[in-house]
Amino acid sequence: MYKFKAVRNQGRYVFTQLVDFLPRKNFEWLVKKYEGNKYVKSFTCWNHLMVLLFGQLSYREGLRDLIVTITPFKSAFHHLGFGKNGTYFLFVIQTKLITQASNFS
Q: For residues 59 and 46, what is the distance between their CA atoms, to the nearest angstrom?
A: 20
- pLDDT bin (cut points 50, 70, 90) of residue 30 is very high
Residue 31, pLDDT score: 96
Write the single-letter amino acid at 6.
A
List the domain boundaries for the chain: 28-104
Given a cut of 80, whether residue 103 has pLDDT beyond it is no
Q: Are 82 and 89 in contact (CB under 8 A)?
A: yes
pLDDT digits (tens, 9 = 90+) for 37-83: 998 877 788 888 888 888 899 898 887 788 788 878 777 777 777 76
CA-to-CA distance for 66 and 79, rounded, in angstroms? Answer: 18
Q: How confident is the model at residue 8 (pLDDT cuts 50, 70, 90)?
A: low
Give the pLDDT confidence score for residue 24 in this predicted structure: 93
pTM value is 0.70
Please tell me the distance from the alpha carbon of residue 36 to that of residue 59, in angstroms, as a whole number.
26
CA-only gyration radius of the chain, Å:
17
Average pLDDT over residues 10-31: 89
Q: Residue 48: what pLDDT?
A: 81
